[in-house]
Amino acid sequence: MLIDSIEIFHVGLPLKKSLRTPGGDIDKLQTVLVRMTSGGLAGWGEASPGAGPWASEEWAAGVFNCIGDWLAPRLVGKMADSGDHLHERLARFRGNRFAKAALDTAWWDLHARMEEKPLHQLLGGKRDKIDIGVGFDQMESIDELLAAIGRATETGFSRIELKFRPGWDVEMVSAVRAEFPVEMLHIDVEGGLTLGHMEMLYRLEDFALDMIEQPLPSDDLVGHAMVQEGLKTPICLDESITTVEQADMALELKSCRYINIKPGRVGGLTPAVAIHDAAAAESVPCWVGAMPQSAIGTRIGLALAAKANFTYPADFFPAQELLADDLADPPQAARDEAAGKQKATLWSEPGIGVVPDPDRLEKFCIARVAVKS
């Protein structure tokens, strides 16, 4: 396809309650949207790395500037016949995977609209309902955490993720498992441990966890292989998986038994599908992770989660709990009567099935730029 124009939007969406970050509490979700046009049709993409460089080296304002100053001018007026072709045009720019993801996901939405197919079908999805789970960070007390998990399990979410932090660690997991002995449960360490914490990791074997996510720093694939060899509990890699090459190396080293794929972190749907396929070839299951984002990014992630090797419930942030206002209608989650669990229902409309409401986009837009041929 010939890319006619690209518009970039830096957006601040009001949160229902402040999020605690290393930079302080924030009351707006900063994210970046891209509108890509070709032949009278438009596709939408999103990258939501956060308001500051905490979860990765990128942040929303930086992504906005990177796309507008460097990436979009490289694409506008040029042909991009596949996701791989688009990434080849951007290959001269190092890193900046969230920025590339915003463009890549917009290309895929545009491509799906041209083909008049829902995005999940174009990606080769095998299901139209997605198992979903929720996560919980540190709270004021264990009792508050247990009450929140109780509400989630009553609602029917398929699994629970617990952030594992200093002072909020083994005793917290023990209390949760005692209260919820059969629920699907895993912990996310976010690279906070070292090989010197093996005794703690062995203690976690007692709690029948579905996985331990990212126990060591992201660059230590060999260390993760050593940990995985010593544990029965599966290791899941998240921050370590930023490229197809990193995924291939982790699979070769047997550093994990699960991979969490975040489309933004790896550069979009094109590399996400390649990582999914490489993991499937090695019989390593995957699941779709997410950052807090608008309905645009949520739909992109759920479309990806329809592929066959995404066998663990996907991340899901209920919009009615996270955002005071969203840019478009989020996918609907409801209890599936047959399974008795919450599932997100995919759509039948082309692409991601929605576009941002123009009035809300204008209202919450911090900055915008258009690149045209």
Residue 351 resides in a domain: no
Backbone phi, then psi, for 351, in 5-degree steps? Answer: 65, -135
Active-site residue 163, yes or no?
A: yes
If asked whether residues 26 and 129 sit together in one domain, one would say no
**Whether this model's pTM surpasses 0.85:** yes
**Catalytic residue among 28, 129, 262, 343, which?**
262
C-alpha–C-alpha distance, residues 201 and 122, integer Å: 41
If asked whether residues 202 and 299 sit together in one domain, one would say yes
If asked whether residues 368 and 329 sit together in one domain, one would say no
If asked whether residues 109 and 160 sit together in one domain, one would say no
Query: Residue 291 is part of a domain; what is its CATH number?
Result: 3.20.20.120
Q: What's the pLDDT band for 320 if we cut at 50, 70, 90?
A: confident
**Catalytic residue among 78, 163, 254, 363, which?**
163
Q: Which domain holds residue 231?
A: 121-345
**Conformation bin of residue 50: beta by default, left when phi > 0, alpha when psi is -120 to 50:** left
pLDDT tens profile 3-50: 999 999 999 999 988 777 777 788 899 999 999 999 999 999 999 999
If asked whether residues 53 and 129 sit together in one domain, one would say no
pLDDT tens profile 57-112: 999 999 999 999 999 999 999 999 999 999 999 999 999 999 999 999 999 999 99
Closest among 186, 188, 165 to 176, alpha carbons compared: 186
pLDDT of residue 335: 86
